A and B are shown apart, each in its own frame.
Chain A
C-alpha cells in the first residue's frame, strides 16, 4: 500500500503492451486484479486477467439521472469517468460475516471470528483508480481504520491493496473534483500513477498534436510500485511525454462539468438546517438511497443476525445501509427522521459539513456519481448553489454564510492533502 506522498524514482513510459504486462505481473504476484471493463452498457469494475479487458475506445455521456456509453475514436482506455461502482465494493464489501456464535447444551457460548479477524484476506490490485476515488479511499481510511476501533475487514483489505491510479484527462459532465480539491491530478496514495496519452496527443509542444503514440506516463509512489514496474517493459519518460501528460491534466481541470459554489460549504450547510429548500428537495427525492449506494465514501452499515435450523448456531452479518431508509433512525417509539426532508438533510449535511466534525474532512470528493445515478436527477451541486443563493438573499445580497471566496471543499487544497494522506 502506498504510504508516500512523493514520487520515488524517475517517471517511466509504458505502451499498451506494457499496460497489459502490468496487469499480468500483478496477477502473477497472487493479486486479484480489479479494473474497469464494459458490461451491460456501463463501465463496471470486475476482476480482469488481462489488459485487453480494459474499456479501450469507450467513453461515457453523463447528465443528472443519465449514463450512456459512447464510442471514442482515440482508443483510450481510461477516458470514462466514474461508473456506478466504486472501490468500496472491494474494500468495504456490501455483506460481511463478522462472526458466528455457537451455543453449547450447558449454556456456554463460543464466538468465532469472521472475515477480517483471522480468516482469508484478499489481496487486491486496483487498476484505474481516479484521483477523486483515491481521495475517497483516504476518506474511508479515516472513517473505518482511523479511529479507536479500526475495522478489521477494511484494514486487512486496505493494507494489502496495490493501487494503480489514473489521472483524469477526460472529466465527465457531472464531475466537480476541482471544486472539492480532489483532482484531476493524482498526488499521493498510490503505488503507481498513470497518465494516459493517446495518438491525439503529440510531443507536448503546442503544435505537435496528432503524431503521438498511445502510451502511459508512469509515476512511482511506493517501493512495491517500483518493484512491479521493474517486472514490465518500460522506458524512461522523455520530456515531451511528461510535459504532454501534465498539460492534459491541467486542461482537464478547466473542463469540469460542474462546480460547487465557491463558499465554505460546511458553514453553508450548518446555517441551512431550517431552510425551506429542504421541502422543495423532499418533493422530488424518492428516498431510494441510490445516491448513498454509489457514493464512494458512504460507509453506513446495519447488522443482521441469523440462526440455523438447530437454533444453536448463529451468525452476525453486516451489510450496507442507507440513511434514506426509514428504519435507519428507528428507536423504540418510531424513527427519528420520519420525513424525507430530514433524511435528505441528514445525507447532504453529512457529506458536506458534519463529516468534518466527525472525521476531519469533507465526505464528498466530487465524483458526480450521486448526480448521475439519481433516478430523478437531483444534483448536489445545484442544491448547494440554491442554498447559497437563498443564504445570500437572506443576507441582503451579500455573499451569505461562508462567502469568503474559498473553494467549495471548504479547506485549502494543501490542508486537505495533509488531512487525507492515507491510512493513519
Chain B
C-alpha cells in the first residue's frame, strides 16, 4: 500500500521533465539509498517506478525527477505544491560505493539518467577523500535536455571532482563539448583497474559506454549500470521486470555489467 506524500516543491528541469520534493503526510517510508526507486502513484491513473533523485534527511523528504512520456508520468509531472502522491518503496539495489573507496570514480549519465545518479554524486562529493579522483560526465541530446543545470554548473566550477558536459546537437548558446558522452572519457584521468564506474541513461547509451569502459580496462563487475524494464509491483511478484534470470525490481535496477552484458546481448530477452 502506498503512503501519502505531499509535494512541497516543484522545479521544472526541461520542457518535459520536472523534479519534486515530497514529504510524508504522516508515516514515512524506510530510508532510501542512492540507486533505489519508489513506485509513485498518481491518483486514479497508476503507479510507475521512479528513482530517488534526492534523499533529504529533513522531515524524511525525497526528491524525484519525472519525465512525461505517458499516462502516469504525465499525471505526475502536472502536480504542484500541495498535491499528494502515493509512494511505495524503497525498492531495488543501490549504487554501492564501499568497494570503490580508495580508487577512481566515474559517474556517467545520459539525459534523465542523471536523476538516479544525483544522490550518488552528493554522497561522493560529501566524502571526496574516500576516493582518488572523481569525474562526473554528463551527456544529453540537446542543451535543452540537460537536467539540474544550476547544480551541474556549480559542480563543474567548484565540485571536488571534474564535471564535464556534452550534447549531441548544440544550439546557438552552447559553448561546451559536442558529441557522445563516451567522448568525454578522453579528458578524464583514471586508472582503469582501480576505477568504479556508475552508468545510467538510455539502454543504447549504457551499452556503448559500458563496452567502452571495459575496452579501456575497467573490470566489468566494477561497471555498475541501472536498467529499465516495465514494472507493476516493485516487490518481485508481478513478473513484468524480468530480464532473463533477473527480476530487475529485486536483483536490479543497479547491477554489474558482468551480469548485464550477456543479457543485453540477447535480442528481445
Contact = CB atoms under 8 A, between A and B. Distances in A.
Nearest to A336: B268
Q: Mostly helix, strand, loop or mixed at chain B's interface?
A: loop
A8 interface: no
A342 B25 contact: no
A306 B238 contact: no
Contact of B229 (A108, A111, A323, A331): A331
A357 B237 contact: no
B212 interface: no
B246 interface: yes
A111 B43 contact: no
B4 A108 contact: yes
Counting contact residues on chain A (CB < 8 A from B), the size range is: 35 or more
B45 A147 contact: no
Given A301-B233, A342-B269, A111 B86 contact: yes
Contacts of B246: 357-358
Contacts of B229: 329, 331, 336
B242 A346 contact: yes
B70 A109 contact: no
Interface in B239-269: 239-240, 242, 244-247, 250, 266-269
Nearest to B82: A107
A302 B25 CA distance: 28
B4 A328 contact: no
B247 A101 contact: no
B239 A301 contact: yes
Contacts of B43: 101, 103, 109, 307, 314
A303 B4 contact: no
A350 B84 CA distance: 38
Given A301-B232, A329-B229, A109 B84 contact: yes
B83 interface: yes
Contact of A339 (B84, B233, B268): B268
B1 A358 contact: no
B214 interface: no
B144 to A, nearest CB: 19
Interface residues of B, number: 40
B4 A354 contact: no
Interface string B37-59: 00001011111000000000000
Interface in A195-227: none
Contact of B230 (A98, A103, A331): A331
B188 interface: no
Contact of A107 (B83, B228, B245, B269): B83
A288 B16 CA distance: 37
Contacts of A311: 44
Given A101-B44, A273-B266, A303-B46, 20 more contacts: A99-B1, A108-B25, A108-B84, A109-B25, A143-B237, A148-B236, A300-B240, A303-B47, A303-B238, A307-B44, A321-B238, A323-B242, A329-B240, A336-B268, A338-B268, A341-B268, A353-B245, A358-B242, A358-B246, A358-B247
12 contacts: A109-B85, A147-B235, A148-B235, A149-B237, A273-B269, A301-B232, A305-B45, A306-B44, A336-B268, A342-B267, A349-B244, A358-B242
Interface of B: 1-4, 6, 25, 41, 43-47, 69-70, 82-86, 228-230, 232-233, 235-240, 242, 244-247, 250, 266-269
